[in-house]
Chain A
């Protein structure tokens, strides 16, 4: 196969058509859709509405909720421990247990300490390393209505409309009202947001926003946030146990959540944590690969928190809606599914079909934009095929430098530029190929505006929590969400912990869950939580022997 500057000849022919139309497209943008047009497109082409991809939950607090098979499978699975597990030796006796060491968990732990808990009585436990999370991978930015031209009310409207008015309004209110406060906290923590010479934030639009309120730190916004938060947590002396995911929550005899069972991934021995309050911040579900989509998510994003919460009876919300980010990399194959930040479109790059024509407004809400890409490739047959038989549409990256001046891509999008350069593509000269990729869990565990779930003693924050984004999240609201609700959950859980001593530990809910599985007629050997996906090669697995060592 002949490759020139990263692309095979067949793709080069289409790139020539993109180049031919480029100058005529500058300054001309495809019109945005009406609400009715959006709805029709979603129903016809969004993966959430694909026939046969879902089945209803048969038992529990979410009975009747129709979820993707991959997710329903997790709920219809057996616990990893039996109710008879020996709980007599308590390894960690703390005021607050935070399950998950990404953005939400780190923020929650910091604010619980700021709210008065002794850092030595707070424990963060995480499946991978502290900070290995979707938060770190977030590129584009964080929304906050902090300019005179903007207001929390304007932000509120954007969030509600982006979520198709399915959001919980009181959560949205908390989100938009706390946003400027969070940015100010970050400024005090020394985060390096992009600013002009006078210290004004450089703020961009994002899909579905009516004001420019996207604050970013080049295209490493999440990385910058996570490494500063992690550093702050370390300086405060908050203990973190890595490579030790929670495999089951613990309750007391009144059904209040009172800690958890951790498993050390290397020695496979379990630890018992007794905690006065517990916050689930386990993140999302991309590594379940719904409908075989590739994902932008980190290795540990397997929806563990949803399973843990469901076993103790917590309510779930909007889990039927999964976010497919419109711009996942579709070429080269080594990059398949990796996130191409929305900021590329925010800076002016247009999506184009194989003929170099625009077919959608570049900044529709994500689900609408993704559906338009799928329609262009499937129904209209105007996508671009890769040698690996993937299909995608062009994102005309060189427009960014044409609009904002040479050097902009390298300055504002260094992560993107670097990633493509590693695989031989120069995005300052050539368009890049994109297709929707599994990106975000819109719904999750239902909470109030302080992160409290329907189960006493249990809080949730970040991607694992649902309701604030409704059926569709806008760009820049997840970094915001984990800060706002991590902080609120941390403070609320600290208050709860002061008032409620932990009781006698029990796994009775595990026995009850097994009984519900049985009563629903589900006989399975599947277990959950999943912990990590399996990407081992078929040839190796075919000869795998499970022998004792």
Chain B
């Protein structure tokens, strides 16, 4: 019962191609006969290597998307961006300090943000990009880190920005500062690493390595399983680190989506 998809017209880099409806933009480009070298990476929405600019018939706007995550539309007029150039000043995370002016010092151009919101409108991940740039400007590293977390560094925001901000690089530094300095270190980890380094687990591993195949199988079958711990909602946005939602807007958003 496989159905034949109707053909639609896509205008790719100035030429019209008839392609089946229902394909992603990337699949449509390949269907048209292109062998991609640039503009294709993970093909699953994670790597950010297929940013695409397009217009729609009857609309004055420029739209942006990831080619692997967006369906081709009739009348779409599109071009792929190979990448967005990026040069950043190197830093040493071990010596840089997470102060209110750290992000601004490292990326002074964020002071030029005119709050036009084009970055947010163009983000294929739907992130509040302008909000995290504004948070960076205010020195709120935590908010910048959390709001930018789902960034795939496609660079579309940067290509559209009138202030030439490198949003995705700002977010990356904010997240690294947050992960290293603002989130507490895991309490048990240092102890475990120390114990491994002093050889506390060596004998136990030696013993397992010395077992015969049959003995190892029976040890495996006799393993005990950890009972699913009844943790108190570990995903609470207001109480845990790296929560997916903006802590400020989170409750509102939940109310709306219910």
Contact = CB atoms under 8 A, between A and B. Distances in A.
Nearest to B20: A537
A339 B208 CA distance: 34
A546 interface: no
A132 B176 contact: no
Contact of B27 (A176, A224, A535): A535
Contact of A541 (B33, B219, B221): B33
Given A129-B83, A151-B201, A199-B186, A165 B213 contact: yes
Contacts of B94: 188
Contacts of B243: 411
Interface in A144-168: 145-154, 156-158, 160-161, 165
Interface residues of A, number: 106
Contacts of B42: 132-134, 136-137, 298-299
Interface in A366-423: 387-389, 404-408, 410-412, 414-415, 418-419, 422-423
A333 interface: yes
A231 B176 contact: yes
Contacts of A540: 31-33
Contact of A418 (B125, B201, B223): B125
Contacts of B62: none
A412 B242 CA distance: 10
A132 B83 CA distance: 13
Contacts of B197: 181
Interface stretch (A214-222, A491-499, A511-519): A214-222
B241 A192 contact: yes
A418 B187 CA distance: 33
Nearest to B206: A173
A189 B186 contact: no
Contacts of B91: 235
Interface in B1-19: 1-3
Nearest to B232: A196
B248 interface: no
A39 B21 CA distance: 43
A157 B186 contact: no
Given A152-B204, A195-B186, A405-B233, A132 B41 contact: yes
B132 interface: no
B45 A415 contact: yes
Contacts of A196: 234, 239-241
Nearest to A1: B3
Q: Which 9 pairs from chain A and chain B are nearest by CB?
A: A540-B33, A199-B184, A190-B176, A190-B180, A537-B31, A190-B179, A132-B41, A161-B220, A411-B244
Given A195-B184, A202-B240, A414-B244, 7 more contacts: A133-B42, A187-B179, A192-B183, A224-B149, A231-B176, A235-B91, A411-B235
Interface of B: 1-3, 22-24, 27, 30-38, 40-47, 49, 69-71, 83, 88, 90-94, 125-126, 145, 149-150, 152-153, 172, 175-181, 183-190, 192-193, 196-197, 201, 204-205, 207-209, 213, 216-217, 219-221, 223-226, 228-229, 231, 233-235, 237, 239-245, 250, 254, 257-258
Interface of A: 1, 34-35, 128-129, 131-134, 136-137, 145-154, 156-158, 160-161, 165, 169-170, 173, 176-177, 180-181, 183-184, 187-202, 205, 210-212, 217-218, 220, 222-224, 227-228, 231-232, 234-235, 237, 243, 265-266, 296, 298-299, 333-334, 338-339, 387-389, 404-408, 410-412, 414-415, 418-419, 422-423, 428, 532, 534-537, 539-541, 544
